């Protein structure tokens, strides 16, 4: 049987080039089972090709891992872009849409957290090419959040961005260790409380100081 006969082609006839198939297989396997747990041969086989072709497109497994993470980061950026399109000119709306999306991912049982953060846990060696990708992604993510908060006129936008990202990472890793019950809702609740605690800079309420507390604690 030809290995090329049973593959996820978009359309019949035109074949997906092997490099993309390899990356897709790597994404799936690395994410689901962990990076060290997956061998190159398994990836090649899942992509409907073989190890030789893999090594014609990627110089080493480590570089394949780096490319896998680059692609994961791009996907996260696409998610951000969708939020931006859904709420143009409304930075806080974009953040909330993004938060909702993250909460949805959290409750999805076949998700295993952030591919980049997991890789950071799994690959502690500072020289691994993946570390660069992880670092750049996290910086971009923080800047994106901080920019939105600044546009929204919130206080201490960078600090708020860091805190919110801390919260999200915690939720993701917690989902893997203890469970996902009510985690999405809790993420949104806490995120909203954080945003509120950084004030809306006298946007709609004149009374000073303690205005944000209302949304932190829902009516018991």
Partner DNA sequence: GTCTTGTGTTACTGACCGGTAACACCACAT
Partner DNA sequence: ATGTGGTGTTACCGGTCAGTAACACAAGAC
Which residues form the interface with its own copies (CB under 8 A)? 32-34, 36-37, 112-113, 116-118, 120-124, 134-135, 138-139, 142, 155-156, 159, 162-163, 165-174, 176-178, 186-187, 190, 193, 197-199, 209-214, 216-217, 220
N-to-C CA span, the chain:
64
For DNA, the binding residue among 24, 28, 46, 50 (CB under 7 A) is 50
C-beta separation of 197 from 116 below 8 A: no
For DNA, the binding residue among 51, 87, 111, 180 (CB under 7 A) is 51
Q: Which two tokens stand for residue 82?
A: 């969708």
Q: Is 28 in the site for DNA (CB under 7 A)?
A: no
Q: Is 53 in the site for DNA (CB under 7 A)?
A: yes
Options 51-59, 90-98, 184-192, 202-210: segment touching DNA (CB under 7 A): 51-59
Give the total residue count for the chain.
220
We find the least distance from the C-beta atom of residue 139 to its own copies, in angstroms, to be 7
We find the least distance from the C-beta atom of residue 4 to DNA, in angstroms, to be 5
The residue among 19 and 147 lying less far from its own copies, judged by its C-beta, is 147
Q: What whole-number distance in Å separates Cα of residue 50 and Cα of residue 22?
A: 9
C-beta separation of 38 from 60 below 8 A: no
Residues 6+ apart with CB under 8 A from 94: 80, 83, 84, 86, 87, 148
């Amino acid at each position: 049987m030809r290995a090329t006969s049973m593959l996820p082609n978009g359309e019949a006839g035109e074949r997906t080039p092997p490099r993309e198939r390899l990356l897709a297989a790597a994404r799936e396997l690395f994410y689901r089972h962990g990076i060290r747990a997956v061998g190159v041969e398994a990836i090649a086989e899942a992509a409907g090709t073989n190890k030789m072709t893999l090594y014609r497109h990627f110089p080493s497994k480590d570089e394949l891992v780096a490319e896998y993470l680059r692609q994961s980061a791009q996907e996260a950026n696409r998610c951000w872009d969708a939020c931006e399109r859904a709420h143009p000119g409304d930075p806080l709306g974009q953040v909330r849409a993004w938060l909702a999306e993250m909460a949805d991912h959290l409750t999805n049982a076949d998700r295993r957290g952030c591919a980049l953060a997991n890789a950071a846990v799994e690959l502690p060696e500072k020289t691994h090419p993946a570390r660069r990708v992880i670092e750049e992604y996290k910086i971009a993510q923080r800047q994106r959040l901080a920019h939105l908060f600044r546009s929204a006129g919130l206080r201490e936008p960078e600090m708020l961005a860091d805190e919110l990202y801390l919260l999200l990472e915690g939720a993701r890793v917690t989902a893997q260790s203890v469970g996902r019950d009510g985690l999405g809702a809790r993420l949104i609740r806490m995120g909203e409380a954080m945003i509120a605690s950084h004030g809306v800079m006298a946007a709609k309420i004149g009374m000073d100081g303690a205005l944000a507390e209302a949304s932190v604690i829902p009516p018991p």
